Amino acid sequence: MSEECLSTGEILDSLEFGYWCTETKVTGSIPVVVKLDMLPLLLLATMVSAAPLSRLDRIADLIAALQRYYSSDCVFLVHDVENHQMSVRSYKALVMVKKMLLYRGISVFTRVLGEGYDQPTCSLMIPLQVLYTSKTRLKYYGAKVSAALGLTNVRWLIWLEHNPDSLDNIFEGIDISYGSEVLFLQWTDSGAILTEVFRFRKDLPLQKLIFANWNRVEGLVTHESNRLIRRSDFHGLTLDVAVLHEPPNTILYKETDRPLEVTGYYGQVWRILEQKLNFT
């Protein structure tokens, strides 16, 4: 890299990657020489005025709101490729969001998708993991994503580089189990929508539930905080179950040409659950 930067934005980029400029020419009607001791002011002006940084500041606010909601002691920023394989734009976005979260007093770490889940986390609380990826990479790393999102001791926020047209297409071929907690971020003109996604079974359609709305005025507004209540409709799913004949709790009756009938205390409870949760 040369010893001159052409804009304040390039100065910021250079600092992100460990380069320093001794002086620069700011583009405009009058070229101006900027000395190194003016970098703090330039950085401040760039962070306030640059549109990309404004968007990153929004994601930092949203992540901080989720971290408080879940009472997570730390946040993991997860990327799906090694650092040296990431695009410059993606790398800078992660670096800036990490700095913004640290500035907000949140412990934040970075890791590569599929690595480090067997290592101790930052606390006994379930951590919040933010996966920064793209539609193309999400499909390419489908198996790795399925394994990660299927973990039941992790909470996920999926943050795509661009809003998708359809969530069904995004998660095609990706298994997100019923017991997992995965939120998908979609930006709107006024803020963001967080959609909870999961599957009752790998071969069944993707379930999509609005978990919360977020904006900078009201913050995080959740629709239903109880996850079991949110997922209380099984949409007529047929479950494969096994039962033992153990009177009086479970009593089995089998007549010719008739299905097995289960009565007793557990049998009655099962019938109530079938009606309440809509399964057979």
**Pair 183, 81 in one domain:** yes
Six-digit token pair at 67? Answer: 């971290």
**Pair 105, 198 in one domain:** yes
Residue 8's pLDDT is: 35
**CA separation (Å) from 100 to 39, 53, 64, 67?**
19, 10, 10, 14
**Pair 144, 190 in one domain:** yes
The pairing of beta strand 74-79 with beta strand 107-112: parallel
pTM as predicted? 0.70
Q: In what order do the strands lie in the sheet with 4-5?
A: 4-5, 23-25, 33-35
| Helix 51-70 / helix 88-103 crossing angle, nearest 10 deg | 50
SS (H, E, C) 60-74: HHHHHHHHHHHCCCE
Tokens 């998908």 sit at which residue? Answer: 184
Q: Is 270 exposed, middle or buried (0-12, 13-18, 19+ CB in 10 A)?
A: middle
User: Rounded to whole angstroms, how far apart are CA atoms 199 and 183?
Assistant: 13
**Pair 39, 166 in one domain:** no
Query: What range does the domain containing 26 cover?
Result: 4-49
**Pair 102, 146 in one domain:** yes
Q: What is the DSSP string of 169-190?
A: HHTTT----TT-EEEEEEE-SS
User: Rounded to whole angstroms, how far apart are CA atoms 184 and 179?
Assistant: 16
**Pair 59, 108 in one domain:** yes
**Pair 37, 67 in one domain:** no
**Pair 157, 205 in one domain:** yes
Residue 32's pLDDT is: 44
3-class secondary-structure state, position 245: coil
Residue 141's pLDDT is: 78
Kindly give the confidence (pLDDT) of every residue in the chain, 280 residues in length, as a single tens digit, with 9 standing for 90 and above. Answer: 333 333 333 333 333 333 333 333 444 444 444 444 445 544 444 444 444 558 889 999 999 999 999 998 889 998 877 655 667 777 888 889 999 999 999 999 888 877 665 454 666 678 899 998 888 888 777 777 877 776 667 889 998 888 877 888 888 888 888 888 899 999 998 899 999 998 888 888 888 999 999 999 999 999 877 777 777 777 777 878 777 777 777 777 666 666 667 777 777 888 888 888 888 7
Residue 225's pLDDT is: 72
**Pair 164, 276 in one domain:** no
Residue 31's pLDDT is: 42
**Pair 30, 117 in one domain:** no
CATH number for the domain that contains residue 128: 3.40.50.2300
**Pair 35, 101 in one domain:** no
Q: How many domains does the chain have?
A: 3
**CA separation (Å) from 262 to 23, 181, 274?**
82, 33, 13
**Degrees, nearest 5: CA angle 17-22-27:** 85
**Pair 102, 147 in one domain:** yes
Q: What is the DSSP string of 106-168?
A: -EEEEEETTSSTTS--SSSSPPEEEEEE-HHHHHHTHHHHHHHHT-TT-EEEEEESS--S-HH
Domain stops at, among 17, 33, 49: 49
